[in-house]
């Protein structure tokens, strides 16, 4: 008889035939850094995840480094906002201060910056507004300024999350013209207009004050269009292509893995984190196992890199070899 169960009989053989393995090397850990002092505030819908000011963040960074997580993704929360988000290219802005602080104190940690405007604009949209919509090309000019400011502060990689057309090209041109030819770009290439971002928007106070993001982020119904987005980013020179969110978009991750010879990242977003934490808190699921199984599914789908709020917890489990 044809039998598949023979290779499942014992832990030893299961380990030998295991196809996908998670490693701490897969993870990028997002950090929320707020302008001010003495801030360490837990995000209510994201238990275990805090907003920190630079004077309180060291113990978090110590842990990240001790767990050998290779990289962090920084989000800045400024104390002042305006219509165009001009704090994003202030060389003394919170993001720039954070980059300098981390690169000085933790030189081995790879620092990736989120390049966007929504946390920095009064209206909460990802660029300049005209006629109740984000204007693409004028936003690119500011995007280039923000990118160079992050690069000057010492960022190792930049990641535009605003879904403007031509963002990768605009950033690549600006970086190359300013001597940053070796600074890579991770494109939020396929980013859907998703309800799974809810807790994040609460965390960084970036919910749009009117309308929504459907004129720039992708329609969750579309799979072919994801290829188009990825092709444009690939042609414009994105070094890594990302899919966001992750769990409801595993098909898209696999498509990109099959069709592009670039590393593929996925973003296991705030709502995905919140759901696991909430159900675990109620005792309805085994939170640790669901966490590991979800992360594994992203890797199995084809993600080479996983951006996740679970990075520290998962790294601990991998370290103890408990998975």
Catalytic residues: 191, 244
Report in angstroms how near the CB of residue 268 gets to ligand PBG at its nearest: 8
Two tokens, residue 56: 């309180």
In the complex with ligand PBG, which residue's Cβ is closer, 189 or 270?
A: 270
Comparing CA positions, the residue from 53, 15, 10, 12 lying closest to residue 31 is 53
DSSP state string for 245-301 = SSGGGHHHHHHHHHH-SS-EEEEE-HHHHHHHHHHHHTTSS-HHHHHHHHHHHHHHH
Report in angstroms how near the CB of residue 177 gets to ligand PBG at its nearest: 25
Two tokens, residue 37: 């002092």
Report in angstroms how near the CB of residue 278 gets to ligand PBG at its nearest: 15
In the complex with ligand PBG, which residue's Cβ is closer, 116 or 230?
A: 116
Residues in CB range of 213: below 8 A, 6 or more apart: 125, 126, 163, 193
Report in angstroms how near the CB of residue 176 gets to ligand PBG at its nearest: 24
In the complex with ligand PBG, which residue's Cβ is closer, 132 or 319?
A: 132
Residue nearest to ligand PBG (CB): 200
Dihedral sign for Cα 61, 65, 67, 68, please. Answer: positive
Instruction: Determine how many CB atoms are found less than 10 A away from the CB of residue 110.
Output: 16
In the complex with ligand PBG, which residue's Cβ is closer, 180 or 196?
A: 196
Contact positions vs ligand PBG (CB under 6 A): 114, 116, 118, 161, 197, 200-201, 206, 213, 269-270
Two tokens, residue 114: 């989120």
Beta bridge partners of 71: 28, 110
DSSP summary character for residue 219: P
DSSP summary character for residue 323: -
Report in angstroms how near the CB of residue 32 gets to ligand PBG at its nearest: 10
In the complex with ligand PBG, which residue's Cβ is closer, 61 or 116?
A: 116
């Amino acid at each position: 008889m044809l039998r598949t169960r023979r290779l499942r009989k014992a832990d030893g053989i299961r380990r030998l035939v295991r196809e996908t393995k998670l490693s701490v090397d897969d993870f990028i850990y997002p950090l929320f850094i707020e302008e001010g002092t003495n801030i360490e505030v837990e995000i209510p819908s994201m238990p275990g995840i805090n907003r920190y000011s630079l004077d309180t963040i060291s113990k978090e960074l110590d842990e990240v480094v001790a767990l050998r997580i290779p990289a962090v993704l920084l989000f800045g929360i400024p104390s002042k906002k305006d219509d165009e988000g001009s704090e994003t290219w202030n060389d003394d802005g919170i993001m720039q201060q954070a980059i300098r602080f981390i690169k000085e104190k933790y030189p081995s940690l790879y620092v990736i910056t989120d390049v966007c405007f929504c946390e920095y604009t009064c209206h909460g949209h990802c660029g300049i507004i005209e006629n109740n919509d984000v204007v693409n090309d004028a936003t690119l000019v500011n995007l280039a300024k923000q990118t160079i400011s992050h690069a000057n502060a010492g960022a190792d990689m930049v990641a535009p999350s605003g879904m403007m057309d031509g963002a990768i090209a605009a950033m690549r041109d600006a970086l190359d013209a300013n001597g940053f030819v070796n600074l890579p770009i991770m494109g939020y290439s396929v980013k859907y207009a998703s309800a799974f971002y809810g807790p994040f928007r609460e965390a960084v106070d970036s919910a749009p004050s009117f309308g929504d993001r459907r004129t720039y982020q992708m329609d969750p119904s579309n799979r072919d269009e994801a290829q188009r987005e990825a092709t444009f980013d690939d042609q414009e020179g994105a070094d890594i292509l990302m899919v966001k969110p992750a769990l409801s978009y595993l098909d898209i991750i696999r498509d990109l893995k099959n069709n592009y010879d670039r590393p593929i990242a996925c973003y296991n977003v705030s709502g995905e984190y919140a759901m696991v934490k909430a159900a675990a808190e109620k005792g309805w699921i085994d939170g640790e196992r669901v966490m590991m199984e979800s992360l594994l599914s992203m890797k199995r789908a084809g993600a080479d890199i996983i951006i996740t709020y679970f990075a520290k917890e998962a790294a601990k489990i991998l370290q103890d070899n408990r998975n």
